[in-house]
Chain A
Amino acid sequence: MSHHSPSIATYTWTYILLMVLLSITVAAAFLPAAITGGDMGIVIAFTIALLKAILIVFHFMHARYAGATVRVFVAAGFFWLGILFVLTMSDYVTRHGIDPRVNDEKVTSSSPLPRSRATTGAYRDRRSEGTHAGPHP
């Protein structure tokens, strides 16, 4: 059976592009906080990671040369991932200003804690929040 697959040259170009993108994403992480602070850093890192993933899926994994059925299956995996992220994040992202605990939290994390409490910091909070039965870990 004959497989349609790209040439070694295509693989090499894909590889070079991947390494260039890796350098860019590392360099971007060291830009001043004014540029990459907050959500911008996530946007830059994620966009580059997505570009790399697309290069790998299309060239290394031959999705470009696959038939329609296989393409639908490839897309389905990422489509469901999209549902997972969009629906969950539409809750978490819009929570600020509604849930008073979100704002309280920022005050507590910046204030110094006694050492014994800080040691169990991550778990201390859960006990105090236990009665709320909130969805936060």
Chain B
Amino acid sequence: MSQTAIQPQPVPAEQFDDPHQQHHAATLGMWTFLATEVLFFGVIFLGFYAMRLRWPADFADGARELKWYLGGLNTAILLTSSYFMAIAVHAAQEGNSKSLSRWLIATFSLGLLFLLVKFTEYGIEYHDRLLPFWHYSATTPDTHALRPQRLPLFMSAYFIATAFHGLHVIIGLCTIATLWVMNRHGRFTTRYNTPVEMVGLYWHFVDIVWVFLFPTLYLLRHG
């Protein structure tokens, strides 16, 4: 791989006939990995909806406990970062290393902003005593009204889903940072930019997971 990058004419790794085949293998491998990720998040969604079917009213109350505007803001942030990532991939394909560097930084910054908003939300939920097992109260802290019986279940699902998604965002940020360093060393050309494309696929996937998480957790406000 590294040989391919340094030389102006890409030389494929020895198991491939030509660079095109190598690129095709990488794309196929990435999509196979993403298919396993689809199933990984799939069971989390499935578990959530199975529980929601049984306790719709309590889960609707749970959705109303969350700050929908912060979730919405985070959706906008991730969609925008996906757009920036798409432009970064485009820049890499054009061989514009300066532009690639700029758009990678833009994507990275928005990913960081997403995490910042997410942790702010976690802070609010901690303050509202909504953390099951650890810092939960059966009544609301301000009015002392009794909370729904299944709220801890909703909150557990919420924390598991968003924490796993957050972990994926963190991994995405690490890979984007790696791309930025590789680009600084002049590793990408018009002929070889597969890593940028693959990280792009991963980042868009992380975006898609959030596109489903947002309405699932925040927007089903009626039982």
Segment 1-34 of B: residues with Cβ below 8 Å from A: 10, 18-20, 23-24, 27-28, 31-32, 34
State the B residues within 8 Å of A (CB): 10, 18-20, 23-24, 27-28, 31-32, 34-36, 38-39, 42-43, 46-47, 49-51, 53-58, 68, 72, 75-76, 79-80, 82-83, 85-87, 89-90, 93, 132, 136-139, 146-150, 152-153, 156, 191, 197, 200-201, 204-205, 207-208, 211-212, 214-216, 218-223
- With both chains docked as a complex, state the minimum distance between the C-beta of A80 and any C-beta of chain B, in angstroms: 6
Task: From the candidates B23, B139, B201, name the one contacting A115 in the complex (CB within 8 A).
Answer: B139
5 more contacts with CB within 8 A, not counting A52-B79, A60-B204, are A29-B220, A38-B223, A74-B31, A78-B38, A121-B149
A22:B90 contact, CB within 8 angstroms: no
Q: Which residues of B contact A60 (CB under 8 A)?
A: 82-83, 85-86, 200, 204, 207
Known: A1-B191, A69-B28. A41 touches B149 (CB 8 A): no
Q: How far is the CA of A136 from the CA of B2 in the complex (A)?
A: 51
Known: A89-B49, A122-B150. A25 touches B215 (CB 8 A): yes
Task: From the candidates A15, A59, A67, A109, name the one contacting B24 in the complex (CB within 8 A).
Answer: A67
Known: A45-B216, A105-B54. A118 touches B39 (CB 8 A): no
Segment 41-59 of A: residues with Cβ below 8 Å from B: 41-42, 45-46, 48-49, 52-53, 56-57, 59
Segment 97-137 of A: residues with Cβ below 8 Å from B: 102, 105, 108-110, 112-113, 115, 118-119, 121-122, 136-137
A41:B31 contact, CB within 8 angstroms: no
Q: Which residues of A contact B89 (CB under 8 A)?
A: 5
- With both chains docked as a complex, state the minimum distance between the C-beta of A134 and any C-beta of chain B, in angstroms: 11
Give the interface size bracket for A toward B: 35 or more
- With both chains docked as a complex, state the minimum distance between the C-beta of A6 and any C-beta of chain B, in angstroms: 8
Q: Which residues of B contact A108 (CB under 8 A)?
A: 149
A109:B79 contact, CB within 8 angstroms: no
Nearest-neighbor residue (CB-CB) of B209 within chain A: A53
B220:A42 contact, CB within 8 angstroms: yes
Q: How far is the CA of A85 from the CA of B53 in the complex (A)?
A: 13
A77:B222 contact, CB within 8 angstroms: no
B146:A33 contact, CB within 8 angstroms: no
B146:A118 contact, CB within 8 angstroms: yes
Q: How far is the CA of A28 from the CA of B222 in the complex (A)?
A: 11
B139:A48 contact, CB within 8 angstroms: no
Q: Which residues of A contact B138 (CB under 8 A)?
A: 115, 118-119, 121
Q: How far is the CA of A60 from the CA of B205 in the complex (A)?
A: 10
Q: Which residues of B contact A93 (CB under 8 A)?
A: 53
A84-95 Cβ-contact flags toward B at 8 Å (1 or 0): 110011001100
A81:B212 contact, CB within 8 angstroms: no
B132:A85 contact, CB within 8 angstroms: no
8 A-B residue pairs with Cβ-Cβ distance under 8 Å, sorted by A, are: A1-B23, A18-B83, A60-B86, A81-B38, A81-B42, A109-B148, A121-B149, A136-B54
A53:B212 contact, CB within 8 angstroms: yes
Q: How far is the CA of A30 from the CA of B34 in the complex (A)?
A: 33
A102:B23 contact, CB within 8 angstroms: no
